[in-house]
Structure 1
C-alpha cells in the first residue's frame, strides 16, 4: 500500500465517522510488516515494525550513533568497541542504524561506515542528517550529503533527514534554501530512498512542516514518558502517523536522565506487579504505541546493547496493561512534583523569544531535571553542549524582562521571574 492510497482510505474513514489511522489501512500495513521473507536482516529474536508506508519493516530498536564509548581523552571514539557493539546488534536482528553529519564532529559517520563494512551495510537501513545551521549557501546541502556518503562508505542513504528543524532554521535556511526540493531531488535520483526530518520545536510548526510536503516519508521526534507535551509531543506523533509517515523516536531515556530514577520514582516502579528496570519501563512505554516505528537508543557499552536487545525481543504494540500504563503515569507525575520544579510542559508556545532565550528547554529539560536529581554538572552540560544560540537559543541571562512571553504560556508561568530563578540557582 502506498501513502496516497492510505491517505485516501483514511479520508474515507474520517468522512464516515471513523478514526483516522485506524481500522483496515493500518491493519494491512502491520500485517505486511511481519513477513520474515520481506524483512531485511530478519532474526527470530527481534521484533519488527512498519516504518509508516515506506514498505519496509524496521527493528523495534535502532542503534543511535551519537552517544558512543570514547577513549580516555574523552574526545575520540573507541572504534574497536563501537564496531564490535554495532555488529553484535546487527547479528541479533537490529536493522536500523542512525547517525548524522555533525555527530561527534564527523567521527560518528566515519565509525558507522567502518562498522558496516564487510557486508553489514546490506543488512541494515542506514540514516544520516543534513545540518541547516552550518549551511552558508544552498549548495552546502549537496556538499554535506556527498561527504556523508564518503564517510559512510555507501552510495545510497536509506533514510535522510533535514536535521533538527526549529523555527529559526525553517524561516532562515530550509525554506529560502529550498531544502525540501533538494531532498526530493535526491530521492528521484536514487541517492536516498526516503526523505524526512528531525524536529525540536512546537506542535504548530510541526504540523506546518508536515503539511508543506505531501511526500515526506518519516520524521524523527523526541518522545518519552515525561515528554508527552514537550516539543512535538504525542499530538504530533499521531498527526504524522495518521498521514502515513513513519515515526522514529529519539531521547527515549531523556539523555540518560530516566536511567537512574530518584528514590521517590523508583519506589513507584518497585511496587508494580511485573518487575522491569527503569530503562525497560521507558522503552516499553514507546513500544506500546502502534504509531511508533523505531526507538533509537544511544548505547555506551556492550551491556547496554545486550540489555536493549533483550527488551526489544519482547516488545509489541499494546504490550502494557492498563495498570502498567498507570504506573508510568504515576512515575511521570512524581518527576514533575519535586520541590521547586517549574510547571512547564515544554510546549514551546513561548518561543521564538525576542531575545532568543531558550525558555521551554531551560525550564523543562534543564532546570526541572536539576530539581529532581540535584545534578548541577548535568544541567551545565545540557546548556553548554545542547543549547547553541543558533539552534535552541540563549541562556536565562539574555532575558530583558520584556514580558512578551507571558500571555503565550498556557500554564500561566511568570516566565521572566522564573528565568531569574534558573539563573540564580544554577549559578549561570
Structure 2
C-alpha cells in the first residue's frame, strides 16, 4: 500500500522530484561509466595513474549527489509541510510518514538508477575517447561491459538516496498537525540543536583533517584536502543559516541603498527566512569550494613540478570536475524555483498593494544575487583554506596557483542558474492574474 501511494505521489508531482531524479541519474551514470573505464584500464599497467583520477572523480560526484539529493528532498518536504500536517491531522502516524517519504525516495532511486545504467555505457565510451584525445591514455582504454560497475552504480544510487530520505523524513515528522493553519513566514527556529551539533562536528573534523594535510606527501595531500573540503562544506551548510542571516543583512543593506524598494524587500526575505535562502546558497558554496579545490590543486602541483599543460590536456581537470558544475546548475535552478514558487501568494499580495511587476523582478534578482554572493564567499573561504594546506604540502609554503577566468566562470554559472530559476518560477505570480485559478 505504501509503495502504491508513493508511486502515485511521484507520478503526480514530477516537478518536485525532478531535481532529485536528475541528481541520482547523474551519480549512477558517472559511477557506472567510470567503473567501466576503470575496469578496462585495470588491464593495462600504464593506466594506473588514470584510474586514480577516475576514482577521485566518482567519489566527488557521489558526495555532491548526496548533498544535492538531501537538499532537494528537504526542500520538497518543507514546501509540502501543510500536506504532511493534513495527513497527521487525519491520523497518519510519524512512522507512516517516514515510510511514505522513504518509499517515494526509493521509487525515484530505482527509476533514476535504471536510466543511469543505460547512459553509463555511452558515457564510458565518451570518457575513453576524451582520455585518448587529451593524452591521458594515448593508446586508448579497452572497453568491456561487465556487471560489476552496474551493480556498484545501483548500490550507490540507493545509498545516495536513503540518507537524504531519512533527513527529509525527520523534517516531515517534525511538522505538527496544526501546521496546516499556520500562515506566518517567520522562521520559528533558526538552528535546531541536532543540526547545530552536526555542523560543529563536521567543521571540527574538517579542521583536524586540514591540519594534517601539510604533513602528508603530495600524492596523499590532494585526496586528504578534498576530504577536508567536503567536511567543511557539510559543516558550513548545517550552520549556514546563521552566517546567511548576517551576510544577507549586510549585503541586503547595500542592495536596499542602491535600489530602495526592491532591495529592501529582498533583504527582508533573507533575514526572515535564512534557512530557505541557504537551500539555494548551499549548492553554490559546494561547487565553488570543490571545483576550486580540485582545479587549483592540479594547477599548484603542475606549477611545483614545472609542468605546463597545453591543448586538449589543459581541459582534463576542468572536464573531470564538470560533474559538480552540472549538479550545481540542476540544484540551483530547482532550489531557487522551489523557494520562489513557495512565495507565489506573497508576490501576488505585493501586487495588490501596488508593487509593479518590474519591481518584483528586481526583487527576485537582488535576492538571487545576494544568495549567490553569500554562497560564493563561503565556498571561497573553504577552498582557500584547503588550498593553502595543499600548497604547503606540495611546495613547502602557504601558496597555491589559481585562475581568475575559471573562478569567474564558476560564479557566473551559479548566478545565471539562480536568476533563470527565480525569474521563471515567479513569472506567473508577477505577470499573471492576481487570483489563482
More strand by share: 1
Higher relative contact order (CA 8 A, sep 6+): 2
Query: Under TM normalisation by the shorter chain, which class is it?
Result: under 0.3
The structure with the largest helix share of the pair is: 2
TM-score normalised according to structure 1 size: 0.25
